[in-house]
Structure 1
Amino acid sequence: MTDRPQLYGADYSVYVRIARLALLEKGVAHDLVPVDIFAEGGMRDSHLARHPFGKIPAFEHGDFHLYETGAITRYVDEAFDGPALQPADAKSRARMNQIISIADGYVYPHLVWGLYVECIEKPKRGEALDEDRVESARGVALISLTVLAGLLSDHRWMCGDRLTLADLYLAPMIDYAVEVPELREMFAEHRNLGDWWQRVTALDSFRDTQPSSWRQKSANFLFA
Structure 2
Amino acid sequence: MSVILYGYHYSVYTRIVRMVLAAKDIAYRYVEIDPFSDNPDLAYLDLHPFGRVPVIRNGDFVLYETAPIARYLDEISPPVLLSPPDPESRALMMQMIQIADSYGYWPMVRQLFAHRVFRVAEGEEPEENVIAEGKVASRKVCEALDKLAGDGDFLTGAAISHADLHLGAMMAYFTLAPEGLEIVNSFPRLQRWWQGMASHALLRKTDPGLPVA
- Write the distance in 2 (CA, Å) between the matches of 1:159 and 1:71: 19
Aligned to 2:10, the other structure's residue is in SS state coil
Q: Specify whether residues 128 and 10 from structure 1 end up closer, same or farther in structure 2 by C-alpha distance, changes over 3 A only.
A: closer
- Name whichever of 60-69 and 41-50 sits farther off: 41-50
Query: 2:183 maps to what in 1?
Result: 186
1:24 to 8, 17, 22: 22
Q: Specify whether residues 128 and 137 from structure 1 end up closer, same or farther in structure 2 by C-alpha distance, changes over 3 A only.
A: closer
Query: 2:83 maps to what in 1?
Result: 86
TM-score (norm 1): 0.86
State the Cα distance separating 1:125 from its structure 2 match.
Answer: 4.0
1:147 to 136, 144, 156: 144
Point out where structure 2 has 5 or more consecutive residues left out of the alignment.
none
Point out where structure 1 has 5 or more consecutive residues left out of the alignment.
216-224
State the Cα distance separating 1:118 from its structure 2 match.
Answer: 2.5
Q: Does structure 1 conserve the Cα–Cα contact (< 8 Å) formed by 2:150 and 2:157? A: no
> Are residue 172 (structure 1) and residue 169 (structure 2) matched?
yes
1:49 to 36, 39, 46: 46
Q: Specify whether residues 144 and 58 from structure 1 end up closer, same or farther in structure 2 by C-alpha distance, changes over 3 A only.
A: same
- Name whichever of 188-197 and 4-13 sits farther off: 188-197
Which amino acid in the other structure matches residue 180 of structure 1? Answer: A
TM-score (norm 2): 0.90
Query: 2:11 maps to what in 1?
Result: 13
State the Cα distance separating 1:106 from its structure 2 match.
Answer: 1.5
How do 1:51-130 residues align onto structure 2 when only pairs under 5 Å count? 51-123=48-120, 124-127=122-125, 129=127
State the Cα distance separating 1:203 from its structure 2 match.
Answer: 2.4
Q: CA RMSD in A?
A: 2.0
- The count of corresponding residues between Structure 1 and Structure 2 is 211
Q: Specify whether residues 153 and 90 from structure 1 end up closer, same or farther in structure 2 by C-alpha distance, changes over 3 A only.
A: closer
Aligned to 1:22, the other structure's residue is in SS state helix
- Write the distance in 2 (CA, Å) between the matches of 1:128 and 1:8: 29
- Name whichever of 27-36 and 60-69 sits farther off: 27-36
State the Cα distance separating 1:59 from its structure 2 match.
Answer: 0.5
1:8-65 deviation per Cα after TM superposition (whole angstroms, max 9, x unaligned):
01221000011111111112111221112234x5211121111110000010011111
Q: Specify whether residues 35 and 149 from structure 1 end up closer, same or farther in structure 2 by C-alpha distance, changes over 3 A only.
A: same
- Write the distance in 1 (CA, Å) between the matches of 2:72 and 2:173: 26
Q: Specify whether residues 190 and 33 from structure 1 end up closer, same or farther in structure 2 by C-alpha distance, changes over 3 A only.
A: same
- Write the distance in 1 (CA, Å) between the matches of 2:128 and 2:190: 28
Sequence identity percentage: 34
- Write the distance in 2 (CA, Å) between the matches of 1:24 and 1:188: 28
